[in-house]
Structure 1
C-alpha cells in the first residue's frame, strides 16, 4: 500500500493539478455538493456544481409540422409566460448557478421543489421521476475537448409536460446541435411527432456522444500500447492511471443511465406515447453497447498496465543478462590476473621469455571459450 500511495503522490503535477475537471469533477461534485446541502430542508435551491462563469441564457424553439420559430436570449418573464397555443415548445436554459432565476422558472411552471433540488444538484447519478404533471430526467452529457484533449462532463436535466420540454444545462455548448439542425431543416419525423419524440432525440444524441468519447479513449490507448511495446516509459504508465480514473467517472455516468432508459421504455408513462417507446428501445440498446465498451476499455487499461510491467521486467532481465555475461567472462580473468599479481619471487612464469604473451593468450582464450559456451547454449 505504501508503494501505491507513493506512486499516486509522485504523479506529474499536470495530471493532478492542471486537469482537475476530467480527473475528479465527478468526485468533487459528489462530495462537495453534498456538503452544500447537508442539513438544509428538502427542496432547497442550492447549486452544487463548480461552474460559475456561464451567463444566464434561455433559448426557445416553437414549432409544428409546417412552422418553426427560433428565439434566443429570452427574458425571464417571456419564459415564465409561455403561451399555450397548441404548438410544441422547447425551452433550453443555460447557467444553473443563477439559482434565483431557476427557482422563478420552476415555481412559475409548477415544477416541484424536490425536482428543482435535483436539477441544481449536479453531482448525482442519472435518474427519472414520473410525476402527475411532468416527467423529469437527469443524465450526464459527455463531450471530448479536442483542444485541451480531455473529457468534459455535465449534467443535463429534462422536464417534459404536455406542451413544453425544458432542458437545464450548466454551461453553454452541448451535444444537441444535430437535433436543432433537424428541427430547422424540417425533414424526417421530428417536427411531425410530439415532444416525447424530441425528448427521445435529445437523449439519443447524448448517448451517441458517449461513443465519440469512448472512441477517443480507444485511439489514445492504441497509441499508448504501441509506445509501451517500443519504449515502455513511465509517463505512459502515469497516463494509464489518468485514463483509468476518467473511465471510472464515465462508468458512473453510463451504468445508471441503463435503468433510466429501461424505465422510460417499459413503464406506462402517460407523456410517452407507445410509438415513441419503440425508438427509446434503440437508445437502450446503444446504452448497453456503451456499457460494454466501457468495460472493454477498463480491461484494456488493466492489460496495458500488465504489459508495461512485463516490458519493464523484460528490460531489467536484459540488463541483468548482459551484466551476468560480463561477470562470467571477467571473473576467471580477474582470478588469473590476481594470481599473477602476487608478490612471490619464485613464480616460474615470471622468468619465461614469452610469459606476457602467455598471460594474454590465456585470458583471451578463456573469454572466447566462455562466449562459445553461451552461444552453444543459446543464452545469447
Structure 2
C-alpha cells in the first residue's frame, strides 16, 4: 500500500467527472469564437467572455462555439452548465497531454485493486460463517463484533469495486486522449504528404533524362519551375486553411 500511496495522482479520491486539467500548464487567456450560420446567414464573431455564448443557445440558427484552450476550469464549467454538457465529456477534453507514465500508473492501480479484492473477498464468507455460530470455537458474545466486522468487510469490497470502475473510466479517458492526439498528428502528416504530391510529380517529370526538353534550354527555366512548385504549395496551404482543415 505504501507504493500505491506514493503514486497517487492529484485526481485520486475525487468522484468521476471532476474537472482537473492534465497536461501542459498555460496561463494565457483562452480564445472563444462563435460561428452562427443557417441557409442564408454566416457570421463569425470572437467573444471576450464565455457568458457571451449563452444567448446563442436560444437562437434558431446553428451555432458552433470554438474554444481554444482548456486550462481555465471555471470557464468550461460555465459552458457545460449552460449547454448541458456531461462532466465526463468535459473531463475527456481536459486531458491534453497524456503520457505512457499515466497509463502505467493506471495499470498499477488496477492491479492493486485486483489484489485487494482477492484478499478481502474470501473474508466475507469466513466472517459470515463465524457470525452464524457454526464454529464451536466462537462464543455468542462475540457475534455482535463479528457482525460489525462483516459490515466493514462489505463496505471495503464496495469501495474496491467503486475504485475499479473509476480506474476503468480513467483508462477510457486516457485512450480517448491518445486517439485524439494521434488523429491530430495524422492530419498534419496527411496535409504535408498532400502538398508534396504535385511537387513530387513535377520533380519526377523534370528529373527524367530526356535529351530534348524545352525548359532545359531556357535561362530562367529552373527558377520558373521552382517558383511554380512553391506557388502550388502555398496555394494548397491557403486552401486547407480556408477549409479549416489545419
TM-score, normalization by structure 1: 0.36
Cα shift at 1:364: 1.7
Name the structure 1 match of 2:8.
219
Matched-pair contact (CA < 8 Å) for 1:232–1:311: yes
Matched residues, number: 166
RCO higher in structure (CA 8 A, sep ≥6):
2
Cα shift at 1:219: 3.5
Cα shift at 1:366: 1.1
Cα shift at 1:333: 0.7
Name the structure 2 match of 1:292.
158
Partner SS, residue 369 of structure 1 = helix
Structure with the bigger percentage of strand: 1
Equivalent of 2:118 in 252, 269, 272:
252
Render the CA deviation track for 1:248-307: whole Å, top value 9, x for unaligned: 221122222233444455558872339x72x65454433222111111222233333444
Partner SS, residue 378 of structure 1 = coil
Structure with the bigger percentage of helix: 2
Partner SS, residue 198 of structure 2 = helix
Distance 1:217 1:253 in 2: 21
**Structure 1 residues 323 and 351: alpha-carbon distance in aligned structure 2, compared to 1, 3 A threshold:** same
Matched-pair contact (CA < 8 Å) for 2:7–2:105: no
Render the CA deviation track for 1:42-85: whole Å, top value 9, x for unaligned: xxxxxxxxxxxxxxxxxxxxxxxxxxxxxxxxxxxxxxxxxxxx
Name the structure 2 match of 1:271.
139
Q: Which runs of 5+ in 2 are unaligned?
A: 13-19, 24-93
Distance 2:207 2:173 in 1: 49
Distance 1:293 1:377 in 2: 50
1:151-190 matched pairs, under 5 angstroms: none
Equivalent of 1:337 in 203, 207, 216:
203
Partner SS, residue 226 of structure 2 = helix
**Structure 1 residues 352 and 218: alpha-carbon distance in aligned structure 2, compared to 1, 3 A threshold:** closer
Cα shift at 1:353: 5.0
Cα shift at 1:335: 1.1
Moved more, 312-321 or 357-366: 312-321
Distance 1:233 1:298 in 2: 21
TM-score, normalization by structure 2: 0.52
Distance 2:140 2:234 in 1: 85
Larger Rg: 1
Cα shift at 1:243: 3.0
Equivalent of 1:240 in 96, 106, 112:
106
Equivalent of 1:349 in 210, 215, 221:
215
Distance 2:237 2:112 in 1: 51
Distance 2:204 2:7 in 1: 60
**Structure 1 residues 256 and 217: alpha-carbon distance in aligned structure 2, compared to 1, 3 A threshold:** farther
